[in-house]
Amino acid sequence: MNEILRFLQAFADAECRANHAKLIEPDDQTFHQRVAVWDAMHGGDLRSGLHRPGGEPVVRYASADHLAAAARQRPRSVLAIARYRAHPADLHRGWMGDTERGPRGEAMRESVYVAREADRLRVVARYEVCDDCLGARAHRSGERCRICDGAGWFHRGGTPWLGLVRLLELRKLGPPTDPRYRRGYDAIG
């Protein structure tokens, strides 16, 4: 699990570097290199999709708005990791925080599945938390969330794995600091 944790931290760092470059790097080649590093951590046909309009004036990347947006960005936290049995090898899942702290703290925003492809770890699926139940799958009343149909997450690319594999191991590293996401964090497992 330590190898997966290190990979997820490197993945979050590469994402943050690419997003910073999108906002404040005036050199297009440097921006594309940072995106390429992040994209290389994706598997199959899954890619970041990060791009920016061409021909932007260089001064735009030094504007107060861009600098402030870049300053708010940080690598996502890894909140939990799990190992699953999938054919033919193990599959791992990481529950990730947000790239910016909100006014109530850090949210739980993304879940990624990681598999070994060609002897390298790669993200093979991405999920986004349901904005209605915040990953808890049900509301406080106990009623199943109708928005996500009780899944807690929405598939956003790659191979859809949610619910198709058997949990072998789970390691929770710490809940998001935004209390609204605590029920979703507690539902992991």
Residue 83's pLDDT band (cuts 50, 70, 90): very high
Q: Within 13 Å of residue 168, how many CA atoms lie on the same side as its CB? A: 11
Percent of the chain at pLDDT > 90 equals: 76
Where along the chain do its domains lie?
Answer: 2-72, 78-186
d(CA 187, CA 166): 16
Q: Is the pLDDT of residue 78 over 90?
A: yes
What's 39-73 look like in SS3? HCCECCCCCCCCCCCCCCCHHHHHCHHHHHHHHHC
Mean pLDDT of 136-162: 92
Residue 123's pLDDT band (cuts 50, 70, 90): very high
Summarised one tens digit per residue, pLDDT across range 87-122 is: 778 899 999 999 988 889 999 999 999 999 888 999
d(CA 96, CA 115): 16
Beta-bridge partners for 172: 80
Mean pLDDT of 67-89: 91
d(CA 124, CA 131): 23
Residue 164's pLDDT band (cuts 50, 70, 90): confident
Q: Is the pLDDT of residue 177 over 90?
A: yes
- Is the pTM of the predicted complex or chain greater than 0.75? yes
What 3-state class would DSSP assign to 115?
strand
How confident is the model at residue 39, as a pLDDT?
97
